[in-house]
């Protein structure tokens, strides 16, 4: 999933507490969104080595283990700035990022998207299973022999079912954001 989809998904997640009348502050929402996108900060690394950015899903940074480490560090540093509820949402946002990145693979396994990735995008069991090391090295070798630009990788993604899911997620997030804005404006004008 692209960053816009992750932003939309984590925004929707941050709004899930509104059902219980527990509205998050803008700072809380921003923190949840940042946590939901923190894995994509490694997107630039493959480009430094002449590889398409999409291969960053296969890096150790894009794993649950690193997510746990980042989450623990964020909690230690910011535990007095955010509530436990916000940290729970932030943790869920981080896990959802990995699930959404691997969603094309899951769709392919279910036979719902024939253009989906053949291999999983996320190394869920890292560092306990090194079975993905060889496919990653093969992919790197392939891209070095057959240079593929980010534009070419993006064109494949635009044909996938995950892209449609991403667009729907973005539309729902925009609807939720606009509804919230109109609701708060009408509430303020009634007071």
Confidence of residue 134 (pLDDT cuts 50, 70, 90): low
132: pLDDT strictly greater than 70: no
Helix (H) or strand (E) holding 157: helix 150-157
Confidence of residue 135 (pLDDT cuts 50, 70, 90): low
pLDDT tens-digit map of 90-127 = 999 999 999 998 887 788 778 777 655 566 778 888 77
User: Minimum mean pLDDT among 18-32, 59-73, 122-136: which range?
Assistant: 122-136
Contact of 94 with 71, CB cutoff 8 Å: yes
Residue % of the chain over a pLDDT of 70? 79
pLDDT of the residue at 131: 61
When comparing pLDDT for 18 and 166, which is higher?
Answer: 166
Contact of 103 with 38, CB cutoff 8 Å: no
Confidence of residue 150 (pLDDT cuts 50, 70, 90): low
Contact of 45 with 56, CB cutoff 8 Å: yes
CA angle 91, 94, 95 (to 5 degrees): 90
Q: Quote the CA–CA distance of 147 and 167 in Å, as a whole number.
A: 28
The count of residues in the chain is 191
User: Minimum mean pLDDT among 51-65, 70-84, 107-121: which range?
Assistant: 107-121
pLDDT of the residue at 148: 62
């Amino acid at each position: 999933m692209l960053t816009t989809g992750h932003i939309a998904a984590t925004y929707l997640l941050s709004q899930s507490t509104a059902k219980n009348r527990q509205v998050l502050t803008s700072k809380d929402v921003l923190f949840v969104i940042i946590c939901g996108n923190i894995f994509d900060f490694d997107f630039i690394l493959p480009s430094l080595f002449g590889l398409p950015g999409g291969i960053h899903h296969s890096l150790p940074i894009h794993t649950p283990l690193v997510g746990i480490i980042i989450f623990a560090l964020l909690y230690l540093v910011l535990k007095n700035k955010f509530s436990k509820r916000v940290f729970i949402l932030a943790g869920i946002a981080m896990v959802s990022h990995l699930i959404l990145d691997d969603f094309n693979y899951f769709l392919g396994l279910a036979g719902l998207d024939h253009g989906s990735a053949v291999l999983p995008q996320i190394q869920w069991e890292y560092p306990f299973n090194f079975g993905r090391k060889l496919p990653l090295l093969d992919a790197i070798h392939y891209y070095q022999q057959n240079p593929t630009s980010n534009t070419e990788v993006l064109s494949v993604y635009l044909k996938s079912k995950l892209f449609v899911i991403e667009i729907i997620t973005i539309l729902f997030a925009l609807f939720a954001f606009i509804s919230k804005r109109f609701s708060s404006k009408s509430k303020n004008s009634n007071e």
